[in-house]
Amino acid sequence: GPKVLQIPSHQIIDMGQMVTLNCDPVSNHLYFYWYKQILGQQMEFLVNFYNGKVMEKSKLFKDQFSVERPDGSYFTLKIQPTALEDSAVYFCASSSTGVSYEQYFGPGTRLTVL
Amino acid sequence: QQKVQQSPESLIVPEGGMASLNCTSSDRNVDYFWWYRQHSGKSPKMLMSIFSNGEKEEGRFTVHLNKASLHTSLHIRDSQPSDSALYLCAASIDYNQGKLIFGQGTKLSIKP
């Protein structure tokens, strides 16, 4: 079936550094999402993105977070600077429309902030 | 604040048995319910979705929805060891551009 790819699979960085998580969504999909899952806790919505713009962001999407998808390349989540509480698995998802269509999830990037 | 509650937290079912999982939303604006399965260390994969009152069956999986009570349930018959996973219920609203609100999940273990 359709696949969403995420690079890297693991990232370990020191607190205060910048990190960029990359997502290669399903081709022809128009809506893109980031979710955060802390080990043993609920999957939580961070942000959705359509037509080059953030549509909605949750309270977890702090000012240090940003997303972009320049010219159809990777959909990226940048955190600058990182904090200890940013340690989690970040899942990217994409869908062909935003509403009643299935979201396909990538394998996740495990981020560890030391 | 939108909330999705799942029960039970964990469930052990013998191989070949029936597993029943529940999910309720506290937000009356919810339009769609989704059931995802997440094996340990993997990404969630959609199992079934339901948008209208009633029941939907796909193979061993049946999902019910009662829109009045905003309650959905997933039933797995003839459970297999490969069904052991975390089952996530998610809800979405028409005007929220696909944002999924997840429950905390039900951890299902199938005992051979």
Select the residue of A44, A98, A105 nearest B97 (Cβ to Cβ).
A98
Cβ within 8 Å, pair B97-A105: no
pLDDT-based confidence at residue A101 (cuts at 50, 70, 90): confident
Residue type, A50: Y
Interface residues from chain B to A (CB-CB < 8 Å): 31-32, 34, 36, 42-46, 49, 51, 88, 90, 92, 94, 96-105
Q: Each residue of B78-111: pLDDT tens digit?
A: 999 999 999 999 999 876 668 999 999 999 999 9
Q: What is the pLDDT of residue A81?
A: 97
pLDDT tens string A17-60: 999 999 999 998 989 999 999 988 899 999 999 999 999 999 99
Answer whether A45 sits within 8 Å of B99, measured CB to CB: yes
Q: Nearest chain A Cα to B47, which residue? A: A102
Closest chain A CA to residue B37:
A105
